[in-house]
Amino acid sequence: MTVKRPGRKAVWGACAVLAGVLLAGLTASVLLGTVTVSADAVARIVAWHLTGQGEPTWSASQDTVVWNLRLPRALLAALVGAGLAVSGAATQALVRNPLADPYVLGLTYGAAVGAVAVTVTGIAPLGGASAGVAAFLGALCAFAVVYALARAGGALAPLRLVLAGMAVTYALSGVTSFLVLQADDPGTTHSVLFWLFGSLAEADWASLGLPALVLAATMLALLAQARPLNALLLGDETAAGLGVPAARLRRHLFLLVALLTGVMVALAGGVGFIGLIVPHAARLLVGSDHRGLLPVAALAGAAFLVLVDIAARTALHPQELPVGVVTSVIGAPLFLWLVHTRARDTTGL
């Protein structure tokens, strides 16, 4: 009897479509905004900066808006979206729960305490970069605490990870609220809240290198482990039988997730729901095999956040919304719909 391998779900197709959406989103993001710049001018500005070709016929403010504000911001949105989505996919394998996101590990509020402490106290030894650096350090501290709490006999048990992450999240969200209430200056409170809900407003060219590097490195490390990650989904015993030491893999995975989430959160604040919704949607498209899931989730996350950022900038123009608010407002109903269809699919209800 011969068996035909069932048709592989179209990973390449999904990647091609998502890459197209991402490119269209990036283009729209650079074209749209308060200052009107014609598409033609945008194209010439970008071409001039990239190749040095062409005559500068545009104003200095147009140049600044397109090249120094919109383009880096759109690219940061793509990087952060991709980073959070990949981080979410990895977290779901780490705690073996398709409904987990990187924030259950307590990293976000660790970052929040760091950033808010700098903003509220005004102590900024590193100048403008202080909040970001403090956020990253805060995320790493939260990571260390969760790691220590979740460690039992050298292994990181999924349930212990989630419980430790939740405990740390609650404790740190209390600290964050306290710090915010201590700030009597409404401007400070506003900027803190803006950070908590996620913002890409700080984007500039200098802020793109680090997330790009970290995203590329962690993506490579995760893809190298794609088959062991698949085995991890089946439980520690089965993984062991397939030559995958679950305890060791989970430690690597936690480190990668902490690094990736820490960097993204430090740059863009608490952008919610991408880490949960996007990997989930990617699974619906291409299945649970990480070899296809990780690239599809990365592209989908990038495209999603670029589009969300356009909405955040333009929906209540001239006021700007925090991107996290938009992702949550779009994300929550989408999530409920996914849970609903998933429950129907697996239980036959």
Partner 1 sequence: MTSLILRDVHVTIGTTPVVTGVSLTAPSGGRVGIVGPNGSGKSTLLRAVYRHLPLAGGSITVGGEDLWALTPRRAAQLVAALPQETRSDFDVTVWEMAAMGRTPHKRPFAADTERDVAVVADALAHAGVAHLAGRRFTTLSGGERQRVLLARALAQQAPVLVLDEPTNHLDVRHQFDLLGLVTSAGTTVVAALHDLNLAAAYCDHVYVLAAGRVVADGPPYEVLTPELVREVFGVDAHVTSVPGTDAPHLILRPAAGGPTTR
Stretch that binds partner 1, among 5-13, 39-47, 126-134, 303-311 (CB under 8 A): 5-13
Q: Are 29 and 72 in contact (CB under 8 A)?
A: no
Should residue 5 be labelled a site residue for partner 1 when binding is judged by CB under 8 A? yes
269 touches 198 (CB < 8 A): yes
Nearest approach, Cβ of residue 327 and partner 1 (Å): 24
User: Contact between 50 and partner 1 (CB under 8 A)?
Assistant: no
Distance CA 135, CA 108 (A): 9
Does 349 bind partner 1 (CB under 8 A)? Our answer is no
Query: Using the rule CB under 8 A, is 53 a contact of partner 1?
Result: no
288 touches partner 1 by CB under 8 A? yes
- Distance CA(249)–CA(257), nearest Å, equals 12
Nearer to partner 1, 127 or 154 (CB): 154
Query: Does 107 participate in binding partner 1 (rule CB under 8 A)?
Result: no
**Total residues in contact with partner 1, by rule CB under 8 A:** 35
Question: Which has the closest alpha carbon to 212: 75, 86, 308, 103?
Answer: 75
Mark residues 66-85: x for contact with partner 1 by CB under 8 A, - for none.
--------------------
Residue pair 256/102 in contact by the 8 Å Cβ criterion: no
H helix intervals, 95-157: 107-121, 130-150
Any contact of residue 346 with partner 1 (CB under 8 A)? yes
**Minimal CA–CA distance to 71: which of 120, 113, 37, 21?**
37
Tokens for 150, please give them: 């979740």
DSSP label at residue 55: -
Q: Which is nearer to partner 1, 80 or 293 (CB)?
A: 293
Cα four-point dihedral sign 169, 175, 181, 183 = negative
- 39 or 224, CB closer to partner 1? 224
* Minimal distance, residue 132 CB to partner 1, in Å: 32
Distance CA 244, CA 227 (A): 9
Q: Is 341 near partner 1 (CB under 8 A)?
A: no
State the nearest-atom distance from the C-beta of 237 to partner 1, in Å.
4
Whether the CA torsion 93, 96, 97, 100 is positive or negative: it is: negative
Site string for partner 1, 155-194 (x = CB under 8 A): ----------------------------------------
153 binds partner 1 (CB under 8 A): yes
Which amino acid would we find at residue 279? P
List the interface residues with partner 1, window 229-268 (CB under 8 A): 230-231, 233-238, 240-245
Give 220's contacts (C-beta < 8 A, 6+ positions apart).
Answer: none
Query: Tokens 């919109």 sit at which residue?
Result: 70
Which amino acid, one-letter code, is at 224?
Answer: A
The answer to whether residue 97 forms part of the interface with partner 1 (CB under 8 A) is yes
* Shortest distance (Å) from residue 291 CB to partner 1: 9
6 binds partner 1 (CB under 8 A): yes
- Spatial neighbors of 132 by CB under 8 A, at least 6 apart, are 115, 202, 207, 266, 267
Give the C-alpha separation, 259 to 255, whole Å. Answer: 6
Q: Which residue has the tokens 């710090």?
A: 179
Q: Which is nearer to partner 1, 33 or 287 (CB)?
A: 287
Among 3, 50, 148, 349, binds partner 1 (CB under 8 A): 3
The smaller minimum CB distance to partner 1, of residues 101 and 309, is found at 101
Per-residue string for binding with partner 1, 193-232, x by CB under 8 A? ------------------------------xxx-xx-xx-
List residues near partner 1 by CB under 8 A: 1-7, 96-98, 153, 223-225, 227-228, 230-231, 233-238, 240-245, 283, 287-289, 346
